[in-house]
Chain A
Amino acid sequence: MALLEAKNLSVSFDTSDGIVKAVKNIDFAIAPGECLGIVGESGSGKSQTFLAAMGLLPKNGHASGSVTLNGTEILNLPINKLNSIRGSSMAMIFQDPLTALTPHLKVGEQMQESLGIHQGLSGRKARKHCLDWLDKVRMPEAERRLEQYPHELSGGMRQRVMIAMAMLNNPKLLIADEPTTALDVTVQAEILDLIADLQKNEGTAVALITHDMGVVARMCDRIEVMRYGAYVESGSADDIFYAPKHEYTQRLLSAMPRLDTVQEDRVKIDAEKLLTVNDVKVHFPIAMSKGLFPKKVPLKAVDGVSFDIMAGETLGVVGESGCGKSTLARAVLQLIPPSSGAVSWLGHDLASMPKSELKQYRKDLQIVFQDPLASLDPRMTIADSIAEPLKTFRPDMTVRERKRKVEEMMERVGLEQSMINRYPHELSGGQNQRVGVARAMINKPRLIICDEAVSALDVSIQAQIVALLKELQDEFGMSMIFISHDLSVVRDVSDRIMVLYLGRVVELAHADAIYKDARHPYTKSLISAVPIPDPKIEKSRSRLKIPGELPSPLNPRAALRFLPSKLRAGEMTYIPKLQETTPGHWVAEHDPLDVILAGDPLADQALVS
């Protein structure tokens, strides 16, 4: 018998625009111990389905139909009956571990109250139980965590706490709503492994809601593909990936950039060197000690990065959160003044240039930001936003010429003319990002920096924007610095790729070389952590795990994570050198892999704290 079964389930919301149906008459079932994947893009209703089952819909949401858990109807139960089921028979974890835990309660307090409610446990017994579970979710230094507040933990650790808390009462079903979307790839891989282990060892059924086909390929037995509130296709993982029937499923799969595809060389790269970045450092002073006049310690966000860009080339920059990739972009454009080092553009040093002179160069140096909505002025129509660079750099243009130019550009990036007087909040994320691209492109710059420009977008929209950028590059021949945490996308667009770790370059090479012949252990672990949307490959792949999560840049030991020999020798300020192993392939100095994996016990402790 099915563990959870939904029949004819619908969810609708009362909004000021009338009733919106988010989920339309769907049926599904989850068997005990299985992992069901629900895939879809934002707004498809995949989360609402399960929020309805948990009784967690907002007040204007209504659910109808039937959801049974072990044969008992649970949809629209009165709140006190519902409260005896949720958190005990079925539990749910959410996307953003940053906000999903109560900020002012200690981890231990939050976990124990769940035990108190459902099992009547308290005091030492409850504490013991919580500790057991924190150990089971492989939380480092579990005992200390009980006394910590959520903000003192990293994102990955918070998600571990969420999972431990959800599992405390041995639920039959764990609903995971985008559990790894906000996490770095290596952390994502560990959390997914953890969930898979729980499924296997505890026999917990898992409902995994995600937009990421790679994640489903790794985790799920069966898959439901959802669009516009209805299931368009369902079947086993193999069916969905190898014989997708529905046109939407096929589109989703083809939109997914894959790490393991071979990339043809697209653009011919001129020999002309556009930009040279030499030993750029960006340090922020951070107050560390207490006392009347606290000592400031430099946080080395970017710590000596050098690279060149040729005309027409795309350089991909990857790294996990906190590695300094966005700071580097800003330092290159002088949006943040670099603490030291030179950025030279066609032989002119941008860093030492007076502001007025720098302004003229900005015409050729443009950037597209991550959050399309937040990076546009909410009080300006999109046409005004696109036209603004023209006003600055082409003051000779008449109003009519400018308008023509904006219309041309809008058409070029795929925005309809009818939108010309719209405001950013009236457009979708993808459309806003097109505005951002149009604004950056309108003066035909020679270099565009895309700082996580597609990260906030759905896969299919992401594919469209990436395609647009490539087309524009073919047409105008500009160079690009493409920054992303998503290795698959970077691989898709880049000629060369630079891997950053805590503000330093660990590997820089041709895109294919990075993926086929990664030399640095950090690069290897990043690549092995990226899920590939192919169940057979994905389930047979082994991962390279480097102990610990991405540590704090304030920790001096962290910088030498891949050189434990130097740590042991006490050379704390040693800077790993970049070495050219084969022509064009630069790798930072590191110890052999087994030495790193064996680790420095001292370093390990320092890393997790």
Chain B
Amino acid sequence: MISYIIRRLLIAIPTIFILIVASWALMKVAPGGPFASERPIPPVILANLEARYGLDQPEWKQLWDYFYNIVVHFDFGPSFKFKDRDVNDIIAQGFPISLTYGFLSFLAASIVGIGLGVTAAIRHNSWVDYSAVSAGIAAQALPNFIMGPILILIFTLYLGWLPGGGWNGGQWQYLIMPVIALSTSFMGSISRIMRSSMLEVLNSNFIRTARAKGLPERTIIWRHAMKPAMLPVVSYLGPVFVAVLTGSVFVDMYFSTGGLGQAYVNSALQRDYSVLLGVTILYGTLTVTVNLITDLAYAWFDPKIRF
């Protein structure tokens, strides 16, 4: 197991390396640059600016410096757009916010989704099943960027119960709507995956054996069916976890939460190379880690998997 983890981490290094080079190259290939604007900048100033950020260096040198600073100083460099702010600052400010509402959304989506899915499977072909399935499809079909304004409309404008935006240190009133908006569609998918996999497990031979032994239905579900039925959900949860953290642009926009999502999109639009790269590396590392955790979790759910 330990050697498996080490091997996986060793593979992660070239993966992230390739990720950096690829996104860096893509950015360079795309037309425009951080200092391109409608009003032409005098060539002298442009040259000065480029020298200030090292853009006058040959490409390989830029990439090398970038790597060197990350590996040796853990420094992702200065922002090209915001004076006096560097990437480390921007991430340190936005990421905790994204992480908070992202993690809560992840919890909500998995707990409610799994619960709904299991209930629907147990009451297969009853009204409980049908309404759970319909709710799941509806939740999945409603895009998050529609959920956002609808929630604000109802809870802020009509009912006046919740503040329409802001972060305020992550007080619960400010968290409710972002979490609901972000989690519903994942909740829908999770419940559907859970339902179908639970149905399949409940029809399997070992459940028939458990029934033939005279075990009560509760024991059958929790002790015999739950773990194997979770396997497909677990493999879906990994990407969901990363997605709730990365896919939070619209939450940041609608609810002015100030998370990393908005900074990420803005950096791409404004060619803020260093911010864009920094956040990409963060997400890349996160994805690699979560995938590793997912694979390790598999071994707990299925004793056949040993590393």
Is A105 among interface residues, defined by CB-CB distance under 8 A?
yes
Find out whether the CB atom of B228 lies under 8 angstroms from the CB atom of A86: no
Find out whether the CB atom of B212 lies under 8 angstroms from the CB atom of A87: yes
Interface string of A20-59 (1 = CB under 8 A from B): 0000000000000000000000000000000000111011
Is A375 among interface residues, defined by CB-CB distance under 8 A?
no
Report chain A residues within 8 Å CB of B302: 103-104
Interface string of B120-134 (1 = CB under 8 A from A): 000011000000000
| Assembly CA distance A94 to B212 (angstroms) | 10
Report chain A residues within 8 Å CB of B205: 94, 96, 99-100
Within 8 A of A (CB), among B194-213: 203-206, 208-213
Stretch at the interface among B14-22, B57-65, B217-225: B217-225
Find out whether the CB atom of B213 lies under 8 angstroms from the CB atom of A113: yes
Most chain B beta-carbon contacts within 10 A, residue among A84, A85, A292: A292
Is A526 among interface residues, defined by CB-CB distance under 8 A?
no
Find out whether the CB atom of B7 lies under 8 angstroms from the CB atom of A84: no
Is B227 among interface residues, defined by CB-CB distance under 8 A?
yes
Count the A-B residue pairs with Cβ separation under 8 angstroms: how many?
83
Report chain B residues within 8 Å CB of A340: none
Find out whether the CB atom of A56 lies under 8 angstroms from the CB atom of B212: yes
- Nearest Cβ on chain B to A12's Cβ, whole angstroms: 17
Report chain B residues within 8 Å CB of A118: 214
| Assembly CA distance A100 to B212 (angstroms) | 11
Known contacts being A96-B205, A103-B228, A113-B223, is A85 close to B214, with CB within 8 Å?
yes
Is A162 among interface residues, defined by CB-CB distance under 8 A?
yes
- Nearest Cβ on chain A to B212's Cβ, whole angstroms: 5
Give the nearest-CB partner of A118 in chain B. Answer: B214
Find out whether the CB atom of B227 lies under 8 angstroms from the CB atom of A80: no
| Assembly CA distance A145 to B303 (angstroms) | 15
- Nearest Cβ on chain A to B89's Cβ, whole angstroms: 38
Within 8 A of A (CB), among B1-60: 3, 6-7
Q: How many residues of A contact B (CB 8 A)?
A: 37
Is B293 among interface residues, defined by CB-CB distance under 8 A?
no
Report chain B residues within 8 Å CB of A103: 206, 228, 302-304
Give the nearest-CB partner of A90 in chain B. Answer: B212
Is A102 among interface residues, defined by CB-CB distance under 8 A?
yes
Is A149 among interface residues, defined by CB-CB distance under 8 A?
yes
Find out whether the CB atom of B209 lies under 8 angstroms from the CB atom of A94: yes
Report chain B residues within 8 Å CB of A100: 205-206, 208-209
Find out whether the CB atom of B6 lies under 8 angstroms from the CB atom of A151: no
Find out whether the CB atom of A88 lies under 8 angstroms from the CB atom of B206: no
Report chain B residues within 8 Å CB of A55: 211
Find out whether the CB atom of A101 lies under 8 angstroms from the CB atom of B125: no
Is B216 among interface residues, defined by CB-CB distance under 8 A?
yes
| Assembly CA distance A59 to B129 (angstroms) | 14
Report chain B residues within 8 Å CB of A80: 216
Report chain B residues within 8 Å CB of A83: 214-216
Report chain A residues within 8 Å CB of B7: 292
Is B254 among interface residues, defined by CB-CB distance under 8 A?
no
Is A117 among interface residues, defined by CB-CB distance under 8 A?
yes
Is A219 among interface residues, defined by CB-CB distance under 8 A?
no
| Assembly CA distance A86 to B211 (angstroms) | 8
Known contacts being A100-B205, A101-B206, A151-B303, is A290 close to B3, with CB within 8 Å?
yes
Q: Is the interface of B mostly helix, strand, loop or mixed?
A: helix
Report chain A residues within 8 Å CB of B224: 102, 105
Known contacts being A99-B205, A100-B205, A113-B219, is A92 close to B301, with CB within 8 Å?
no
Within 8 A of B (CB), among A49-107: 54-56, 58-59, 79-80, 82-88, 91-92, 94, 96, 99-105
Report chain A residues within 8 Å CB of B211: 54-56, 86
Give the nearest-CB partner of A92 in chain B. Answer: B212
Find out whether the CB atom of B303 lies under 8 angstroms from the CB atom of A162: no
Report chain A residues within 8 Å CB of B124: 59
- Nearest Cβ on chain B to A167's Cβ, whole angstroms: 12
Is A570 among interface residues, defined by CB-CB distance under 8 A?
no
| Assembly CA distance A165 to B206 (angstroms) | 13
| Assembly CA distance A599 to B190 (angstroms) | 56
- Nearest Cβ on chain A to B300's Cβ, whole angstroms: 9
Report chain B residues within 8 Å CB of A88: 214
- Nearest Cβ on chain A to B294's Cβ, whole angstroms: 17
Report chain B residues within 8 Å CB of A370: none
Known contacts being A99-B204, A292-B3, is A165 close to B213, with CB within 8 Å?
yes
- Nearest Cβ on chain B to A103's Cβ, whole angstroms: 6
| Assembly CA distance A71 to B198 (angstroms) | 37
| Assembly CA distance A162 to B212 (angstroms) | 11
Report chain A residues within 8 Å CB of B217: 79
| Assembly CA distance A251 to B301 (angstroms) | 49
Report chain A residues within 8 Å CB of B209: 94, 100-102, 162
Find out whether the CB atom of B214 lies under 8 angstroms from the CB atom of A87: yes
| Assembly CA distance A165 to B215 (angstroms) | 13
| Assembly CA distance A117 to B223 (angstroms) | 14
Report chain B residues within 8 Å CB of A101: 206, 209
| Assembly CA distance A292 to B7 (angstroms) | 6
Is A494 among interface residues, defined by CB-CB distance under 8 A?
no
Find out whether the CB atom of B208 lies under 8 angstroms from the CB atom of A117: no
Most chain B beta-carbon contacts within 10 A, residue among A58, A85, A103, A165: A103
Find out whether the CB atom of A117 lies under 8 angstroms from the CB atom of B203: no
Give the nearest-CB partner of B124 in chain A. Answer: A59
| Assembly CA distance A509 to B215 (angstroms) | 53
Most chain A beta-carbon contacts within 10 A, residue among B209, B217, B302: B209
- Nearest Cβ on chain A to B201's Cβ, whole angstroms: 10
Is A199 among interface residues, defined by CB-CB distance under 8 A?
no
Report chain B residues within 8 Å CB of A285: none
Q: Which of B206, B213, B223, B301 contacts A86 (CB 8 A)?
A: B213
| Assembly CA distance A440 to B213 (angstroms) | 47
Find out whether the CB atom of B212 lies under 8 angstroms from the CB atom of A91: yes
Known contacts being A102-B224, A103-B304, is A84 close to B3, with CB within 8 Å?
no
Find out whether the CB atom of B6 lies under 8 angstroms from the CB atom of A86: no
Is A114 among interface residues, defined by CB-CB distance under 8 A?
yes
Most chain B beta-carbon contacts within 10 A, residue among A105, A118, A165: A105
- Some 19 contacts from A to B, beta carbons below 8 A apart, are A56-B212, A58-B203, A80-B216, A83-B215, A85-B214, A87-B212, A87-B213, A87-B215, A91-B212, A103-B228, A103-B302, A103-B304, A104-B227, A104-B302, A104-B303, A117-B215, A117-B216, A149-B303, A162-B209
Query: Which A-B residue pairs are the 9 nearest by beta carbons?
Result: A87-B214, A87-B213, A99-B205, A83-B214, A102-B206, A92-B212, A86-B214, A149-B303, A114-B213
**B residues at A contact (CB < 8 Å):** 3, 6-7, 124-125, 203-206, 208-217, 219, 223-224, 227-228, 301-304
